[in-house]
Chain A
């Protein structure tokens, strides 16, 4: 019996050492294979959560624990599940968690976007304090490709390549009712700041035009990238402040390029996360009332009932992807022996929610490019 279902991973019990063959067979015993490829979720806690990375870990069984580049090329798959303007869900199959996690970390904190960094407030009589207002403005996602801009370092002057300027001027007439200031009122100034710098030693440049807070050498809307899609906040209906009669806000907001590790406002994703593929197995046929109970136990409807003839109802696993591992189905006496909950260690369900600056599929390719750049940097330093 042992030899016929040797590769059967359904077995959970540990085999006795005496049953092992005298010579390495080149395959792992089923319980070790299970430990290697699955996280097993028991009633109390998950087990086998660690990945075994060491190449020689199974040398005693004659098994090579490496995924060689050629094998990786052959087995790695990507399946796109959902792709919309801002959201994306896809499966990465045949990948180690460390690399999937690298992409997630890069998406959240190392992909640049543009966000409002400096706010010049000329007048603010609203109840929202200046610093709170500036913070709210910073968090507004801007619909602009950050790859068209440069970083602004400390000593740089603001120019058309590193700064986007918006103007906001809203006031509530006396005697009227309160108004709501929304992000659509942020107006793009393609020619840069309109606020004049205070005159210092004005004798030097009396004839030239008065300096502003930015020094644009040309208008941004003359650039081909922005000629037919003007820069604006991604969403027009984000509430910035509310004004009572007689109150006014007048300000200029300067957006620059930055990264999520400096401040979350520069993160190009609302969230980016992955989960391992759930695997739900019925260890014994579950029929009749037990089947009904199992279907009822699961809050995300993983199980279904099929009629196998003569009025016998049997439970089936219809939607394992839905499983959130709440472990409701293995609660109660004896259920752990009927249902096994596992996660596939090298199958990641990756989800990206973009804030709108770049579409999610572009964000992922950019993230992979950043990891490549990091490797390249180390290679150059080593050679």
Chain B
């Protein structure tokens, strides 16, 4: 990962290898939820290169920390989604009761 700007830690571009819209768009959403973020966006410079550039401009905080917080935010959201989903599936299975097995 490269750190875009040396002079100004509040504005930086992060270049992530082996990532695509899957992570970048979710991260963009989480960054936008952060009030410290002035601007954020991402681009994929070339479609045949597995790389995505994420631009973060903040109101003064270090962009690196803000991006890290966004990742942590996305991770806790995912964890919550996973536990809620598992609970919902378990409830559904209980509700259906022990199903008669297929004959095979």
Give residues in A with beta carbon < 8 Å to B. Answer: 53-56, 66-69, 72-73, 76-80, 83, 90, 92, 95-96, 98-99, 101-102, 105-106, 110, 361, 364-365, 368-369, 371-372, 374-376, 378-379, 381-383
Task: Determine if B22 is an interface residue (Cβ-Cβ < 8 Å).
Answer: yes
* Interface size, chain B (Cβ < 8 Å): 42
Interface pair A105/B21, CB less than 8 Å apart: yes
Looking across the interface, which residue of chain A has its beta carbon closest to that of B39? A54
Chain A contacts of B68 at CB under 8 A? 378-379, 382-383
Give residues in B with beta carbon < 8 Å to A. Answer: 1, 16, 19-23, 25-29, 32-35, 37, 64, 67-68, 71-82, 84-89, 91-93, 96
Chain A contacts of B84 at CB under 8 A? 76-78
Chain B contacts of A72 at CB under 8 A? 77, 80
A112 to chain B, nearest CB (A): 15
Instruction: Name B33's contact: one of A55, A79, A376 (CB within 8 Å).
Output: A55
Interface pair A375/B86, CB less than 8 Å apart: no
- Given the known interface contacts A80-B88, A382-B71, the answer about A374 and B33 at a Cβ–Cβ threshold of 8 Å is no
Chain B contacts of A76 at CB under 8 A? 80-81, 84
Interface pair A98/B88, CB less than 8 Å apart: no
- Given the known interface contacts A56-B35, A76-B80, the answer about A379 and B25 at a Cβ–Cβ threshold of 8 Å is no
Interface pair A375/B71, CB less than 8 Å apart: yes
How many angstroms from the CA of A119 to the CA of B78 in the assembled complex? 39
Chain B contacts of A73 at CB under 8 A? 80
Chain A contacts of B16 at CB under 8 A? 378
Chief secondary structure at chain A's binding surface: helix
A303 to chain B, nearest CB (A): 29
Chain A contacts of B77 at CB under 8 A? 69, 72, 99
Interface pair A66/B88, CB less than 8 Å apart: no
B64 to chain A, nearest CB (A): 6
Closest 9 CB pairs of A and B: A80-B92, A78-B88, A53-B32, A375-B75, A98-B29, A368-B82, A375-B71, A105-B22, A98-B25
Chief secondary structure at chain B's binding surface: helix
- Given the known interface contacts A83-B93, A102-B23, the answer about A66 and B71 at a Cβ–Cβ threshold of 8 Å is no
Looking across the interface, which residue of chain B has its beta carbon closest to that of A106? B22
Looking across the interface, which residue of chain B has its beta carbon closest to that of A362? B89
Chain A contacts of B72 at CB under 8 A? 375, 379
Chain B contacts of A379 at CB under 8 A? 68, 71-72, 75
Chain B contacts of A95 at CB under 8 A? 81
Instruction: Name A83's contact: one of B35, B80, B87, B92 (CB within 8 Å).
Output: B92
Q: List 20 A-B contacts (CB under 8 A).
A: A53-B28, A53-B32, A54-B32, A55-B32, A55-B33, A66-B34, A69-B73, A72-B80, A96-B29, A99-B29, A110-B22, A361-B85, A365-B85, A368-B81, A374-B19, A375-B71, A376-B75, A379-B75, A382-B68, A382-B71
Interface pair A365/B22, CB less than 8 Å apart: no
How many angstroms from the CA of A287 to the CA of B32 in the assembled complex? 47
Chain A contacts of B64 at CB under 8 A? 382
Instruction: Name B88's contact: one of A69, A90, A110, A368 (CB within 8 Å).
Output: A90
A204 to chain B, nearest CB (A): 41
Beyond the given pairs A96-B29, A368-B79, 14 more chain A to chain B contacts, judged by CB atoms under 8 angstroms and listed by A's residue number, are A53-B28, A53-B29, A68-B33, A77-B84, A80-B88, A98-B28, A98-B29, A99-B29, A361-B85, A365-B82, A375-B71, A378-B1, A381-B1, A382-B64
Looking across the interface, which residue of chain A has its beta carbon closest to that of B50? A261
Chain A contacts of B81 at CB under 8 A? 76, 78, 92, 95, 99, 368
| Interface hub of A98, A106, A369 (most chain B Cβ within 10 A) | A98
Instruction: Name A371's contact: one of B26, B35, B67 (CB within 8 Å).
Output: B26
Interface pair A369/B67, CB less than 8 Å apart: no
Chain A contacts of B19 at CB under 8 A? 374
Chain B contacts of A372 at CB under 8 A? 75, 78-79, 82
Chain B contacts of A90 at CB under 8 A? 85, 88
How many angstroms from the CA of A210 to the CA of B101 in the assembled complex? 46
